[in-house]
Each structure stands twice: as structure tokens, then as C-alpha cells.
Structure 1
Amino acid sequence: MDFCAIDFETATFDRNSACELGICVVQNSEIVETKTWLIKPPSFPYFSQRNIDVHGILPQDVKDAPTFEDIWYEVEEMMYGTLMIAHNASFDASVLRGCLDYYGIFTPKLDYLCSIQLAKKSWNYLPKYGLKPLAEYHQIKFNHHRAGDDAEVCAKISLLAFEKLFLTSNEEISEYMKAKIKKL
């Protein structure tokens, strides 16, 4: 089973305002790499206070950071040919699309799946399906709302869900989650 879990943090409510990106790469059902980039968003130096209150990333943290365009080649290499999973995937997919559109970068053909949908199928008795409650349920400690940590927890929860659902390959995921898999 191969996939990448991703997470974005944003500077503003604009979908092109990624200020941090985390990717966790899973190959053969094992986490092989997690990488995080701070990103200088187009809105720099403006950050919404509400967003800062969520993730704690400040404008001075990204003043010397690369732009999304600068890191895209490396990001695309890590994601190439795999299923993308994100917790609340519609948000992360829209940020990815917003950044690609802003920089005029061709949108790759990529299938994505929301780990919330996966968790609801796996643990349909839980009261909440946010990343933090799911991590607590599975006794996974992490620094919430930091992109690398969130991506890695998303990957761990997805692996646990696949195990619970007896899904052992990308083909089985595609078949079982067919109605929930979207195209970027």
C-alpha cells in the first residue's frame, strides 16, 4: 500500500496562502519519510490573526522561506503516482489547487481521499472524527496544527483504518472507497 498524507497550514483565508506544508510518504504500508516546509505565502507579510491563533506560525517565521513555487518540484516528486490522503481533504486539496493556480503550475492527475471518511467507516461508534480526538483514541501524541505532525498522524490513522477494514492494497482501497475518492 502506497500513499502520501499531506497537511497545509494557511496564513489567511485565501486558498493560495499556504505557510506550511507537511507530507508523510507511506510505501508498502510503512512510513518512510515525513517532510515539512515553511512557505512564504503571496500575502506576506500579512497573516490573519485567526490563522496564527490556530497554528502559531508568524510572518517572521517565513520571511526567508521559499515560496510554494520554489518547493513544488520536490513536493511533486514525493507525491508522484500515489494516492493523496488528508484529514478534511477538501480543504487541503483546495489549498493545493489554489497554490498551483496562483503560480500557474499545471495541476497533476492525482486521486485523493479524506481520512475522516476512512475513520467513519472504521470506527463508526466514535463521537468525534477530528484529527486530535482520533489521535487521542489511538494514543498518538503530536503537535497539532503543525503540518508535518498532522500529516504523519493522518498517515498513522489511515494505516490503522486500512488494517481495521482489512484493506491491504491500493486496488482494494480504490474499490472499497470508490465513492469517496476524488480527483484533484
Structure 2
Amino acid sequence: MNFIALDFETATHERHSACELGICVVENSEIVETKSWLIKPPSYPYFNPHNINVHGIYPEDVKNAPTFDEIWSEVEETLYGNLMIAHNASFDASVLRGCLDYYGIFKPKTQYLCSIQLAKKSWKNLESYGLKNLANHHQIKFNHHRADADAEVCAKLSLLAFERLFITEDEEVKTIFSKNLKTL
């Protein structure tokens, strides 16, 4: 299995307001790298207090951070040719699209899958399929709502789900989840 798990944190309700991005790279069913970038959003220095309460990232944390367009080439290189998985992928894909649109950057034809759908297919009848609940269910500890930690937990949960579903090849994901795969 080869994929990247991705997570965004935002400064405001606007989809182009990414203030942190985390990516976890999985190659041959092993996590090989997890990285994150603090991002100075277009709204800087304004951050919605609600968003700060969720992720704990303050304007001063991103004061000297690059803007999204300044990190995009490195991010794009990591995404290129890989399936992207995110927990509540519609949100993260919309943030990625929003940032790309805001900066006038061409959108790659990246396919993505939501790990919530993957979890629901793998573990029936759980009370909640939220990231924290799934992590607790599998005794995975992490710093919730920080992009690198959320991306890594998403990757770990996806690997566990693929194992439970006996999915061992990238092509099997495309076949089994063909109705759930979306394109950026």
C-alpha cells in the first residue's frame, strides 16, 4: 500500500485559510515520513477564536511562516501520483482546493478517499467514527488537532482498516472503493 494521509488546520471558516498542513507518507504499508508546515494564511493576523480553541495555533505562531504558495512545490512533490487519504476528506480536499484557487495554482488530478468511509467499512457499529474515538478504540495516543499528528493517526487507522479488509495492493483500493474515490 502506498498513499499519503493529509490534514489541514485553518485560521478561519474560509477554505483558503490553512494555517497548518500535515502529511504522512506511507510506502509499502509502512509509515516512512511525517511532516508538517505552519502556514501564514491570507487572513493573517486575524484568526477566529473558535479555530484557535480547536487547534491551539495563534497568529504569532505563523508570523514568520511561509504562505501556502511558498510550500506548494514541496507538497505537490509528495502528493504526486499518490492516493490521498484524509479523515473527513471533504473538508481537507476543500481546503486544498481553496488554497490552490486563492493562489491561482493548477489543481493536480489527485484522487482521495475519506478514512471515515474506510473505518465504517472496517469496524461496524462504533458509536463514533471521529478521529479521536477511532484512535482511542485502537489505543493510539496522539496530539489531536495538530496536523502532523492527525495525518499520522489517519495513516495508522487506514493501514489497520486495509489489513482488516485484506486489502494489500493499491489497485484493490481503486476497485473496492471506486464509488468513494473522488478527484481533487
1:126 aligns with 2:122: no
Cα separation, 1, equivalents of 2:110 and 2:10: 21
5+ long unaligned stretches in structure 2: none
Cα separation, 2, equivalents of 1:75 and 1:130: 26
Residue identity in the other structure for 1:138: H
Look up the match of 1:87. 87
Cα separation, 2, equivalents of 1:29 and 1:43: 38
3-state SS of 1:21 partner: strand
Q: How many residues align?
A: 184
Look up the match of 2:163. 163
Look up the match of 1:50. 50
Look up the match of 2:98. 98
TM-score (norm. length: structure 2): 0.99
3-state SS of 1:178 partner: coil
Cα separation, 1, equivalents of 2:164 and 2:174: 16
Identical-pair percentage: 73
5+ long unaligned stretches in structure 1: none
Residue deviations 1:135-158 (CA, integer Å, cap 9, x gap) = 000000000000000000000000
Residue identity in the other structure for 1:13: H
TM-score (norm. length: structure 1): 0.99
Q: How far 1:124 moved relative to its partner?
A: 1.2
Residue identity in the other structure for 2:34: T
Q: How far 1:125 moved relative to its partner?
A: 1.9
3-state SS of 2:12 partner: coil
Q: How far 1:133 moved relative to its partner?
A: 0.2
Q: How far 1:119 moved relative to its partner?
A: 0.1
- Aligned Cα RMSD in Å? 0.4
Cα separation, 2, equivalents of 1:20 and 1:122: 29
Residue identity in the other structure for 2:13: F
